[in-house]
Amino acid sequence: CVEKGKVSSLMCSYNAVNGAPTCANRWLLDTVARKAWGFDGYITSDCDAVANVLSPHHYVKTAEEAVAVTLKAGMDVDCSYFVGQHGMSAFDEGLIDEPLVDARLASGFRVRMRLQHFDPPGPLQQIGPSALCSPRAAAIARAGAAQGAVLLKNQNAALPLDAAALRSLSLAIVGPNAQLAKAIAGYYGPAAACSGYPTVLDAVRQRVPASVKVSFAAGVPSVLSTDTSMVKAAAALAATAAATILVLGTDLSVAMENHDAVNLTLSAGQLALVEAVAAAAAGKPVIVVTLTAVPLDLTPLLSDSRLKAILHAGQPSVQTHGVVDVLFGDASPAGRAVQTVYPVEYQRMVSPFDFNMRPGPSIWPRPDSPGPCTDSYVGPVLPSKNCTLGTNPGRTYRFYNGTAVVPFGYGLSFTTWSYSLISAPRVAHLDRLRHLLARTRDRTGAAAFPALTTVK
């Protein structure tokens, strides 16, 4: 991103690297980013990350020292009021000087110059909402939603659905995320979308012939609800439909700042809904679509033969039509899993505060320890009968020593492919690999070729 993409800004976050908070880490911001990678943009803090250098990191003793250590490390912009509140006193104490302030200002103004903020109106100033809401932009968003969808399961080629075969029949759309609107664009999505936030239910109704009766039932009120009083009605809908699309997952209640998921599974309410719908469908196609910003252990769904297909759509932005394009074969899935999806047991083995990548003993307590455990952020954790230290099973596809629910890079297609490597120099960039990709079934499709390199 920095060396090839020439990004104009970086953000230093809340965590520490090798004992130094990232916004106060000169090695990270200057030695690595600016000198080794050639970064020439500006570096902003995550909001309140400068204040965090003082507390809770306790990296320095005063607010003025926090201002000085972050500016000297190479942070240019404070996403907060901390530097504004304490910068002058840091200057008066001689902790910072004018050349340092000028250097920090120069980084931001250099980028503003590139953006023509101080020039007469030019091409960049002509880009407005009309350009963002153009047919071309909508088409790109729609294609992105289709290309990003990952087909996790497709038993007996249940997908794509045949819209023509559904003519004069009924289609059930079930699940709390079938009418998920703004959250599909993510926490940082636009406040007002160009044409609103079409839901999966909206997109399906627009795709199928008018003669198809499309019925909807939420089943459970929300993704976290334990209220299953509506499950029976949803199951009854699936019993009478020719096919059912179950739209499940998470929403912003567990996928935004200060709102984190507490486990890796679908809620008990959603799992009860899945069981009831699968039983009621009595062998008719049940297709699962997951809209989620967090990886979920879908083992019960992947192993359930009554659920014919599972399409992971993530957060498809403002064009859910791209997801429906895949469901009905107007687009071919070629997405690959961008995360290693761990089994639910993982969350009980290692603390989220353990950042070690490689497997091994942890200095942090197991999350399922009954406690109380001393917080090792302020003091050592000592094992006791109520506080068991965790074991890190490793992180990412490189170091995880267990069996992933969904491996990194996994993804099915509507057809099958064979891969043959023609040539690969021992030292090469990915764009110098030559490979042969051949379709082995008589069906058109798309494929993403996964390739990894090892840095020596």
218 and 284 together in one domain: yes
Q: Does residue 73 fall inside a structural domain?
A: yes
Q: Does residue 94 fall inside a structural domain?
A: yes
Please tell me the pTM assigned to this model.
Answer: 0.86
Look at residue 71 in the predicted model and tell me its pLDDT: 99
Look at residue 435 in the predicted model and tell me its pLDDT: 55
Q: Which of 30, 40, 46, 48 is catalytic?
A: 46
List phi, psi (to 5°) of 423. Answer: -155, 145
Q: How many domains is the chain built from?
A: 3
189 and 266 together in one domain: yes
Q: Does residue 397 fall inside a structural domain?
A: no
Q: Where in the sequence is the domain holding 15, given as residue range(s)?
A: 9-114
Angstrom distance (rounded) from CA 130 to CA 35: 40
Residue at a domain's end among 84, 114, 144:
114
Angstrom distance (rounded) from CA 360 to CA 357: 9
193 and 260 together in one domain: yes
Residue at a domain's end among 81, 114, 147:
114
142 and 284 together in one domain: yes
Residues sharing a CB contact under 8 Å with residue 87, sequence separation 6 or more, in sequence order:
67, 96
| Residue among 328, 384, 350 nearest 264 (CA) | 350
Look at residue 455 in the predicted model and tell me its pLDDT: 62
201 and 292 together in one domain: yes
Look at residue 347 in the predicted model and tell me its pLDDT: 92
Q: Does residue 302 fall inside a structural domain?
A: yes
431 and 298 together in one domain: no
Residue at a domain's end among 65, 80, 114:
114
Task: Name the burial class of residue 310, with classes exposed (0-12), middle (13-18) and buried (19+) by CB atoms within 10 angstroms of its CB.
Answer: buried
Looking up residue 318, the CATH number of its domain turns out to be 3.40.50.1700
88 and 53 together in one domain: yes
| Residue among 160, 200, 191, 175 nearest 273 (CA) | 175
Q: Does residue 120 fall inside a structural domain?
A: no
Instruction: Map residue 364 onto helix, strand or coil.
Output: strand
Find out whether 342 and 348 touch, Cβ atoms under 8 Å: no
224 and 280 together in one domain: yes
Look at residue 57 in the predicted model and tell me its pLDDT: 96
70 and 204 together in one domain: no
Look at residue 378 in the predicted model and tell me its pLDDT: 47
Ranges of the chain whose pLDDT falls below 50: 378
Find out whether 218 and 185 touch, Cβ atoms under 8 Å: no
Instruction: Map residue 9 onto helix, strand or coil.
Output: strand
Look at residue 126 in the predicted model and tell me its pLDDT: 80
141 and 228 together in one domain: yes
Look at residue 456 in the predicted model and tell me its pLDDT: 60
| 191: its two tokens | 């406040």
22 and 88 together in one domain: yes
Q: Does residue 381 fall inside a structural domain?
A: no
174 and 218 together in one domain: yes
Look at residue 436 in the predicted model and tell me its pLDDT: 58
Q: Does residue 182 fall inside a structural domain?
A: yes
46 part of the active site: yes
Q: Does residue 379 fall inside a structural domain?
A: no
